[in-house]
């Protein structure tokens, strides 16, 4: 599917996203932000954005590190990510720049926007929602769980879907329980899908290349099931009248 580069500014960085438009769509269409894993904008997020566009939505695969940088070295990635991950304000700023870029695109219904994300991209989607941005839906896949208060969670306007590996060592039952408590206290509508015997990065076919199967491993069943759950969420929050 053809795409076009979208240049935008976020958190003081020059960002480069890739925009995918659905074929033959008439009139303004809902938009979906697709935030990448911690390594940055690459094949994984681009392929997911293309699939989302195939469902009939305008999808923006969003930049994370600036200039569409993708890193493969774990140490370099952690060095880039650390200052952002430790600052909700910076995380939200990078996500908000993408939100503004998507809603400004012609043919996008700015009143019907969703955000999805993978790994740290899920954190970005959640933090964007916690900032009060006008998101109809949020979906996080093997998502980092934002450390938010009930007051922050109360700013989320749309429905939240979390799809997690039950055995993800980076997202423990205690992490889930704390985050669930914040969502409940904030009055958020949410769903949690847990996949047994599944760890981190289960949507990424190249996760096995990390050589850490106890931490990151592709799971085709969880990948397919979570994408279908997202599709149903979009039908509910993006395709309904009004």
Does residue 49 lie within any of the structural domains? yes
For the cut 90, the answer to whether the pLDDT of residue 185 exceeds it is yes
pTM: 0.97
**Do 97 and 120 form a contact (C-beta atoms < 8 A)?**
no
What the block records as the tokens of 79 is 């060095």
What the block records as the tokens of 125 is 């989607």
CA distance 87 to 65: 14
**Do 132 and 161 form a contact (C-beta atoms < 8 A)?**
no
CATH number assigned to the domain comprising residue 226: 3.40.50.1820
As a whole number, mean pLDDT of residues 161-188 equals 95
Nearest-5° angle of CA 205, CA 207, CA 213?
125
Close Cβ partners of 184 (under 8 Å, ≥ 6 residues apart): none
Does residue 85 lie within any of the structural domains? yes
For the cut 60, the answer to whether the pLDDT of residue 166 exceeds it is yes
As a whole number, mean pLDDT of residues 110-130 equals 97
Does residue 184 lie within any of the structural domains? yes
Beta strands at 137-141 and 58-61: parallel, antiparallel or unpaired: unpaired
Domain that includes residue 142, residue range: 3-237
Does residue 232 lie within any of the structural domains? yes
Count of structural domains within the chain? 1
Does residue 242 lie within any of the structural domains? no
Which residue in this structure is represented by tokens 């939240």? 160
For the cut 70, the answer to whether the pLDDT of residue 21 exceeds it is yes
As a whole number, mean pLDDT of residues 206-234 equals 97
Confidence band (pLDDT; 50, 70, 90) for 1? confident
What the block records as the tokens of 203 is 């949507």
For the cut 70, the answer to whether the pLDDT of residue 138 exceeds it is yes
Query: pLDDT at position 26, please?
Result: 74
Does residue 100 lie within any of the structural domains? yes
Which residue in this structure is represented by tokens 């580069």? 5
Confidence band (pLDDT; 50, 70, 90) for 149? confident
Burial letters 107-129, b for 16+ CB under 10 A, else e: ebbeebbbbbbbbbbbbbbbbbb
Query: pLDDT at position 241, please?
Result: 61
As a whole number, mean pLDDT of residues 199-218 equals 96
pLDDT in tens, 194-204: 999 999 999 99
Q: What is the average pLDDT score of the chain?
A: 95
As a whole number, mean pLDDT of residues 21-38 equals 92
For the cut 70, the answer to whether the pLDDT of residue 242 exceeds it is no
For the cut 90, the answer to whether the pLDDT of residue 221 exceeds it is yes
For the cut 70, the answer to whether the pLDDT of residue 218 exceeds it is yes
Neighbours of 222 (CB within 10 A): 25
């Amino acid at each position: 599917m053809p795409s076009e580069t979208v240049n935008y500014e976020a958190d003081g960085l020059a960002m480069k996203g890739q925009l995918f438009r659905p074929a033959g769509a008439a009139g303004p269409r809902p938009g979906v932000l697709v935030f990448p894993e911690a390594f940055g904008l690459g094949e994984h997020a681009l392929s997911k954005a293309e699939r989302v566009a195939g469902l009939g939505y305008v999808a923006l695969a969003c930049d994370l590190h600036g200039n569409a940088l993708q890193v493969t070295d774990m140490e370099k990635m952690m060095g880039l990510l650390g200052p952002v991950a430790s600052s909700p304000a910076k995380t939200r700023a990078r996500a908000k720049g993408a939100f503004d870029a998507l809603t400004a695109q012609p043919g996008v219904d700015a009143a019907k926007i969703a955000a999805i994300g993978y790994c740290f991209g899920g954190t970005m989607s959640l933090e964007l929602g916690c900032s009060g941005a006008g998101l109809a839906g949020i979906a996080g896949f093997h998502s980092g769980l934002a450390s938010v208060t009930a007051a922050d969670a109360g700013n989320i306007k749309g429905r939240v879907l979390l799809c997690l590996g039950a055995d993800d060592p980076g997202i423990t039952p205690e992490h889930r329980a704390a985050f669930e408590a914040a969502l409940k206290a904030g009055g958020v509508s949410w769903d949690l899908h847990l996949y047994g015997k599944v760890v981190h990065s289960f949507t990424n076919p190249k996760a096995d290349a990390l050589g850490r199967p106890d931490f990151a491993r592709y799971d085709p069943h969880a990948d397919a099931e979570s994408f279908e759950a997202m599709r149903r969420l979009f039908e509910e929050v993006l395709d309904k009248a009004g």
